[in-house]
Amino acid sequence: MPTAPEAAVLAALDRVRDPEILRPITELGMVRAVEVDADGRATVSILLTIAGCPAARRIEADVLEAASQAPGVSEARVEVGVMTPEERRDFVERVRGDRGSRPRQFGPESLTRVIAVTSGKGGVGKSSLTAGLAVALAERGLAVGLVDADVFGFSIPGLLGLSRDGVTEQPTRVDDMMLPPVAHGVKAISIGMLLGDADPRTTAVSWRGPMLHRTIEQFLRDVWFGDLDVLLLDLPPGTGDVAITVGQLLPQAEVIVVTTPQEAAADVAVRSALVARQTGQRVIGVIENMAGLLQPHGSVLDLFGTGGGALVAERLGDAEHGEVPLLGSVPLSPVFRAGGDTGEPAVLRHPDDPAAAEVLRIAERLMAGGRGLAGRSLGLSVR
Ligand SMILES: Nc1ncnc2c1ncn2[C@@H]1O[C@H](COP(=O)(O)OP(=O)(O)OP(=O)(O)O)[C@@H](O)[C@H]1O
């Protein structure tokens, strides 16, 4: 039987969450023992999945803080050990449930809303918007995952601050399970995290279709996201292999099309939406990016023209599929761009910036209008 101070420490540890799994460490079998001596000196032994796991320091610091503040504790010490193979198997089972009985992640029975973001042309800001929307939704309390399916042009790690100076955070591997790094509340996975020690700034991925297919499949199967409200996918531009793979693996996915205001970009954007439709996905809206840049003296410079977003929305709406709304028009903004460069998304740091504000508005709109989100326990996921 634990003494009263030991029970108090255990209760405090219930509030320490694994930063990758976002569940209490006490639930995950990560607390081996808690002892508090007669003078109130606490010793907490914790178990990590692997030695030097990326989250180790954070867990240790959080445990120390929680134990130190428990009633009846005068000082605290943390001992860190590593799980045995059996303990690790038990851990994996606790995290994702029994393999035989667990439903396929994001399968038809999953309650997670899946939104794929696509574009016709490259460089229209699809990845910047996807990252911004993911962070905005997470900030509003949703459990959000982000798959960077743009295998050749991966940029999500940089946009979320998970890649700095050529070093990219990697998922923690526990047996055959990968735990995605978390940034700004978003669980993210990208091919850029699986290049080992290679510098993503100078490493190119040149794979053929089957390899791309397997990679996306692996992201959806082996990367453990836990219960998500929303999974966003940043698709490569165009109508290639990955778009078709995503259509096959996630037929329930909803699709958002990103375009610039330029007519030439709009034509290609329509084509990528039509491919999504052919694979059974539903196009839920269009976002126009790189719209008019507000000048210091108050006028607006329409660098890429106007009207592309509305044009794409109009062309995609028809009697069979109904109206496809223009979800928003995000202006060009140096602040928004800089937030992506530094990995500090403008939606968090500069929510009043016109581009960030529009992305936040679009996120609200997505939360309000979602097919799958209606009637669900939104915002209740503990983060
Ligand atoms: N609203 C905006 N204002 C200013 N710069 C922007 C805006 N949106 C995106 N950018 C910048 O434009 C460039 C391209 O954006 P991004 O990489 O997000 O595009 P993309 O469509 O995902 O490209 P690709 O699919 O080809 O990788 C980046 O440098 C980004 O910072």
Ligand 1 geometric centre to CA of 290 (Å) = 9
328 and 199 in a single domain? The answer is yes
Percent of the chain with pLDDT over 70: 88
Q: Are residues 165 and 92 both part of a single domain?
A: no
Q: In sequence order, what are the beta bridge partners of 113?
A: 230
| Pairing mode, strands 113-119 and 230-234 | parallel
Summarize the confidence of residues 378-382 as an average pLDDT.
Answer: 40
CA 82 to centroid of ligand 1, rounded, Å = 42
Phi/psi for 309 (5° steps) reads -60, -50
Q: What is the pLDDT of residue 239?
A: 65
CA pseudo-torsion sign 76, 80, 84, 89: positive
Instruction: Specify the ligand 1 atom closest to the Cα of 337.
Output: 31
Rounded to 10°, the helix 126-139/354-369 angle is 60
Q: How confident is the model at residue 361 (pLDDT cuts 50, 70, 90)?
A: very high
User: In terms of pLDDT, which residue wins out, 229 or 321?
Assistant: 229
Phi, then psi, of 147 in degrees rounded to 5: -105, 120
Residues 117 and 61 in one domain: no
Is residue 151 in some structural domain?
yes
Same structural domain, 178 and 276: yes
Does the annotation list 121 as a binding residue?
A: yes
Secondary structure tally for the chain: helices H, strands E: 12, 17
Report for 53-57, 66-70, 160-164, 167-171: range of highest mean pLDDT: 66-70
Say which CATH number the domain at 85 has: 3.30.300.130
Q: Which domain holds residue 38?
A: 4-96
Q: Which of 40, 66, 96 is the last residue of a domain?
A: 96
Atom of ligand 1 nearest to the CA of 333: 3
Residue 324, φ and ψ in degrees, nearest 5: -110, 115
| Domain presence at residue 295 | yes
The residue length of the chain stands at: 383
**pLDDT higher than 70, residue 328:** yes
Task: Provide the 10 A C-beta neighbour count for residue 199.
Answer: 12
Asked if residue 322 belongs to a domain, the reply is yes
Residues 89 and 125 reside in one and the same domain: no
d(CA 73, CA 183): 33
Mutate to test the pocket of ligand 1, among 268, 337, 359 (most ligand atoms within 8 A of CB): 337
Taking residue 317's Cβ as centre, other Cβ atoms within 10 Å add up to 15
The answer on 191 and 82 residing in a single domain is: no
pLDDT above 60 (res 206): no
Q: How far is the CA of 145 from the centre of ligand 1 (A)?
A: 20
Is the pTM above the cut of 0.80?
yes
pLDDT in tens, 150-182: 877 788 999 999 988 878 888 888 887 888 999
Q: Which of 124, 128, 350 to mutate to test the pocket of ligand 1 (most atoms within 8 A of CB)?
A: 128
Residue 236 lies in a domain: yes
Q: Is residue 82 part of a domain?
A: yes
Please tell me whether residues 154 and 299 are part of one structural domain.
yes
- pLDDT of 372 reads 45
- Same structural domain for residues 258 and 347? yes
Number of domains in the chain: 2
Does 77 fall in a domain? yes
**163 and 89: one domain?**
no
Do 122 and 18 fall into the same domain?
A: no
- Average pLDDT score, the chain: 85
Q: How far is the CA of 125 from the centre of ligand 1 (A)?
A: 3
Confidence of residue 79 (pLDDT cuts 50, 70, 90): very high
- 105-139 residue pLDDT tens: 787 777 889 999 998 888 899 999 999 999 999 99
Exposed, middle or buried by CB within 10 Å (0-12, 13-18, 19+), for 311? buried
Q: Is residue 101 part of a domain?
A: no
Task: Decide if 374 is inside a domain.
Answer: no
Task: Please state the ipTM of this predicted complex.
Answer: 0.97
